[in-house]
Amino acid sequence: MEREGEERFCFIAEWYDPHAAFIRRYQFMYYVKDGTVEMFDIKNHRMFLKKTRIETIRPEDLYIGNTVNILSRQMNFVDYGDDFTRARLSHKKERTLGMIKPDAMSKMGQIIDLICQKGFLITKLKMCQLNRNEAFQFYQEHQGKPFLDTLLNFVTSGPVIAFELMGENCVSQWREALGPTDSAIARSEAPQSIRARFGKNKTENACHGSDSSSSAARELEFFFPSNGPSRQNTAKFTDCTCCVVKPHAVKSGLAGKIISSILEAGFEISMLEMFNMEKANAEEFYEVYKGVVQEYGSMVAELTSGPCLAMEIRAQNAPQAFREMVGPSDPEIARHLRPRTLRALFGVDKVRNAVHCTDLPEDGLLEVEYFFKILGR
């Protein structure tokens, strides 16, 4: 019998061993009482990690699809490891598909902020542009409805942001947060809801949410296919620079506020996607800092410590203009010298300085291409 406080959660975790070019599988145990982790190598029937406290792993990090760092290896949770864990966690880790529709894209920061404040976890996110066929496929249940044509014109009129949310009873909780379909009715019946606050009318109602767990599964597969090509991204690859909201800032729920600040300053966010960076990719991305910046190792560790949000930022002289807004790399210095910059406002220290931005003007496009042509493929 498991007693309160003595729970042990078990997952199957995989690690790609680059030297052996081989995926290793582990049983991963997490003891809630003291936050310790223990791991067994499944194939070799060997203890891999004796019961050890790992400061960076919290109970909320335990869900299928997440990646955690153990002894500088990136472990990916691929399944529950026992029935107890499945029974205890699966209802708390329900998933749904949400989407910011074209009419509310200028409010993306506020909406993402609200999602985090309401306690939903964003586990995937991507800005996309749907064509008519795709929109029809997405809204197939509305075939024959009188409003279908208007709806298809509307959702293909500009980019959308699709996201996977995770949480307890997430499907119904997100529907509740949205409010009634018609924004006018939402304003009278649920004035705090997203559609009341950000929607315009019956069609332009700011956001979408799956109406059941089976729709959620279908709609998640539509935007985030488990295999096969993903949706067309919206990156333009002109007049651009790269911004990455670092994992510590995403974890602290600051992504929405950072996005709002960027938009308020007049920059265009023409592409936005959540990534779980592999160590080898983080090293490659930060290559220019290797041997130059003392914090290189810690920067790589930070960038791989959880999901980050990469953006294509567009403006005139985008790299220089955006760099100005980001501020000095050390948030302490930024708070003294440039108190209105992103790092002054949202940074913690030199490594956890809220955002990465491109340093050299000629690298703006290259960094954007790294995320949205190379990693995003």
**Within a 13 Å sphere around the CA of 270, how many CA atoms are in the beta-carbon half?**
19
Are the C-beta atoms of 63 and 166 separated by less than 8 Å? yes
Residue 142 bears catalytic tag: no
Nearer to ligand ADP, 175 or 231 (CB): 175
The reply to whether 181 sits near ligand ADP by the rule CB under 6 A is: yes
Is residue 181 marked as binding? yes
The active-site residue, picked from 19, 208, 248, 336, is 208
CA–CA distance, 39 with 124 (Å, rounded to integer): 27
**Token pair in block for residue 5:** 């406080």
Helix residue spans in 118-226 (DSSP H)? 132-138, 148-155, 170-178, 183-189, 194-198, 213-223
Element (H, E) at 346: helix 342-346
List CB contacts of 249: < 8 A, sequence separation 6 or more.
255, 258, 346, 352, 354, 355
The reply to whether 203 sits near ligand ADP by the rule CB under 6 A is: yes
The reply to whether 147 sits near ligand ADP by the rule CB under 6 A is: yes
What is the nearest approach in angstroms of ligand ADP to the Cβ of residue 211?
Answer: 5
Is residue 195 marked as binding? yes
**Choices 4-12, 122-130, 145-153, 237-245; region in contact with ligand ADP by CB under 6 A:** 145-153
Give the one entry of Mg ion, ligand ADP, none that residue 105 binds, where binding means its C-beta sits below a cut-off of 5 to 8 angstroms depending on kind: none
Give the one entry of Mg ion, ligand ADP, none that residue 317 binds, where binding means its C-beta sits below a cut-off of 5 to 8 angstroms depending on kind: none
What is the nearest approach in angstroms of Mg ion to the Cβ of residue 211?
Answer: 5
Q: What is the DSSP string of 119-130?
A: TPEEEEEEEE--
Q: Which of 208, 248, 251, 352 binds ligand ADP (CB under 6 A)?
A: 208
Give the one entry of ligand ADP, Mg ion, none that residue 215 binds, where binding means its C-beta sits below a cut-off of 5 to 8 angstroms depending on kind: none
Residues at the site binding ligand ADP, with contacts judged by CB under 6 A: 147, 150-151, 181, 202-203, 205, 208, 211
